[in-house]
Amino acid sequence: MRPAVTLRKTNLIQAACGIAIATVATVSSADTVELTNGDVLTGTVVQRDERGVILKHDVLGTIALDAQRIAKITPQAEQTEPKKTDEPKAQKSDANAKQREADKPDAPDTATIESTEQAALKAAAEDRNFWQRFREDWNSKITLGLNGSQGPTDRKDYRVRFNTKFEDGRDRVSFNTSWYYATNDGDKTQNQFEANLTKDWLKKDAPWFFFIKGQYKFDDNRSWENRTSAFGGGGYTLKKTEDVEVNTRLGFGGTYEYGAVDEFTPEALFGGSVVKWQLTERAAVAGEALYYPSLEDSTNFRIESSLELLYKLDMAEGLALKLGVENEYDSSTPAENTNNDLKYYGAIVLSF
């Protein structure tokens, strides 16, 4: 009986040695990625560029590693490269390497991996609800202003404004709405509401774009009270960098005024805007000037202009101080009223 026990022990030792040899062969046949924190990952490198690598790991699956986290990459070829020896052994080693290469499963196609990742990102983006998409994809601001004075007269001015903007390289959408209300000794002196929507269709790697623009305005101090405008045309980006963006526009459309009067005027639109001019890390300016000449009477026109300074505050993230001035000149305003509607203000801005 003792020889049988010896035989079983011998078989177990041989099996263990075989498993160890197979494990060593499997590890040595894989690419090795050493990370800066000392961790070592083995697998198949399916993509490698200046941004990092994509590694197919037997346990973790397909993972992306940033170049800044990688200390060293040792490809399989360097690990299995045969030592210099006599010619017959070298030829045998080359034949074994070719056989291992032929037996190795095909690496996933890079295009397949990228399309899979894009599909996963798209699915994750579509899974977001409306408010998640709005908060993550849109740049929004709320402006609150209150000015007042007491003395011979008691005057108060209230200003509320909401701006939001979206841009993804193909489309650019901006929407803003504002309400301005003023009193003098408790009596209402001004009550204005305005909403603007602009949609731009951008061309990749080109400064040209097409746009449509709509506007609604209510002003109970004007003879028209309500005014709706719509325009369409083309635009050109004069400059666009991280700190500066300047656009121009040329279009045609019309304005419909109704209330105390009922009149439609075909108009052109010409002008430009400094969307952003970053003066310092904290301070930036923006402005716009749009000219609306009547297509029926050259003496009838409107000019809308604005200029504002935005200064970021330290008190909280997204909080800023805004100083601005805006004016609308209307050549058709009755003689008893001024042609200019000028406002200047200071306000607090919250970005989110």
Please tell me whether residues 109 and 186 are part of one structural domain: no
The answer to whether 229 and 258 are in contact (CB under 8 A) is: no
Q: Which residues have CB under 8 Å from 326's CB, separation 6+?
A: 304, 305, 306, 307, 342, 343, 344
Same domain, 75 and 185: no
Same domain, 101 and 138: no
Q: How far apart are CA 325 and CA 315, in angstroms?
A: 25
Is the domain of 36 the same as that of 108? yes
Cβ atoms of 268 and 293 within 8 Å: the answer is yes
pLDDT of residue 19: 40
Q: What is the pLDDT along the chain (352 residues), one digit of tens a residue?
A: 444 433 344 444 444 444 433 333 333 457 888 888 888 888 888 888 878 888 888 877 788 888 878 888 888 765 554 444 444 545 555 666 666 655 555 555 555 555 666 665 565 556 677 777 777 889 999 999 987 666 666 788 899 999 999 998 899 999 999 999 999 888 888 899 999 999 999 998 899 999 999 999 999 888 889 999 999 999 999 999 999 999 999 999 999 999 878 999 999 999 999 999 999 999 999 999 999 999 999 899 999 999 999 999 987 788 999 999 999 999 987 655 678 888 889 999 999 8
* Number of residues that make up the chain: 352
pLDDT of residue 114: 54
Where a domain ends, among 71, 93, 126? 126
* Residues 33/65, Cβ–Cβ less than 8 Å: yes
Domain co-membership, 85 together with 177: no
Residue 229 CB-density burial (10 A; 0-12 exposed, 13-18 middle, 19+ buried): buried
Domain with 122 in it: 2-126
pLDDT for res 12: 40
Phi first, then psi, for residue 74 (nearest 5°) are -110, 105
Number of domains, the chain = 2
Instruction: Give the pLDDT score at 253.
Output: 98
* Residue 47 near residue 54, CB atoms below 8 Å: yes
Q: CATH number of the domain at 121, please.
A: 2.30.30.100
Q: Are residues 76 and 107 in the same domain?
A: yes
Whether residues 34 and 175 fall in one domain: no
d(CA 66, CA 50): 9
Of 92, 111, 126, the one marking the end of a domain is: 126
Amino acid at 231: F
197: tokens are 């929507």
Question: What string of DSSP letters covers 64-105?
Answer: EEEGGGEEEEE-HHHHSPPPP--HHHHHHHHHHHHHHHHHSP
Regarding whether 189 and 109 lie in a shared domain, the answer is no
- Give ∠ CA 21-27-28 in degrees, rounded to 5: 85
Task: Report the half-sphere exposure of 5 (CA within 13 A, side-chain side).
Answer: 2
Whether residue 105 sits in one domain with residue 43: yes
* Domain harbouring 275, CATH code: 2.40.160.40
Same-domain check for residues 103 and 227: no
Q: Are residues 101 and 46 in the same domain?
A: yes
Instruction: Specify burial of residue 210 (Cβ count, 10 A radius: 0-12, 13-18, 19+).
Output: middle
If you write DSSP's letter for every residue of 206-228 in order, what string do you get?
-SEEEEEEEEEEEETTSSS-EEE
Q: Do 120 and 141 belong to one domain?
A: no
Query: Is the pTM value of this prediction over 0.85?
Result: no
State the distance between the two ends of the chain, measured CA to CA, in whole angstroms. 83
Out of 126, 156, 172, a domain closes at 126
